Amino acid sequence: MILLGAYAGLRVSEIAAIRGEHVDLITCTIAITGKGEKTRYIPLHPILQGLAVELPERSWWFPSYVGNHEYGAGGPVLGNSVSAGISKAMDRAGVPGKPHSLRHWFGSSLKDAGVDSLVIKELMGHESLATTAIYVRVPLRMQSTAVNLLPDVQPAAARQRRITLPPNVPVSVIRAVRHSAAM
């Protein structure tokens, strides 16, 4: 369950509803029916491919053995059961956060790796980029790269006064250098 949250970015309700028939090991995809009953196809991470061969080819991956208010015994567990199971595992492992944090990790990790926001939006099953933006933390490294793409429009004389520092210099050092250069 945890791997599906982390490596496919699934909601707990989507994890609960997975059946072996939803997985295609030839194309390495999984069909996920999410909010609004919309189905999306997500590529399976290699870790999930290995997991898929261990789970049933037909029927629910996470069946309820006693039943619940929606299904009898043998039907799927509910999303709140998935959430409780993941929460307990995270607590035991000392991992902070809630099961939904796995979706945030999924989106932020993809963004950190340079994946386009539109691709992340589709993988997460969002209607809009505004929703995806809630999940995705844009790393400072990417923000710095973006800002550094702006053209230098200063006169040549001003460019000659520029102090070049190596990358990854702490802000406190940069401030100290600027302060001493201004004196």
The residues assigned a catalytic role are 11, 35, 100, 103, 126, 135
Please tell me the distance from the alpha carbon of residue 14 to that of residue 11, in angstroms, as a whole number.
5
Contact 111, 137 (CB under 8 A): yes
For every residue of 96-126, DSSP letters joined together read -S-TTHHHHHHHHHHHHTT--HHHHHHHHT-
Residue 111: beta bridge partners?
Answer: none
Query: Which residues have a Cβ under 8 Å from the Cβ of 98 and sit 6 or more positions away?
Result: 83, 87, 90
Query: Where are any strands of DSSP class E within the chain?
Result: 23-24, 29-33, 39-43
Which conformational region is residue 98 in: left (phi greater than 0), alpha (psi within -120 to 50 degrees), or beta?
beta
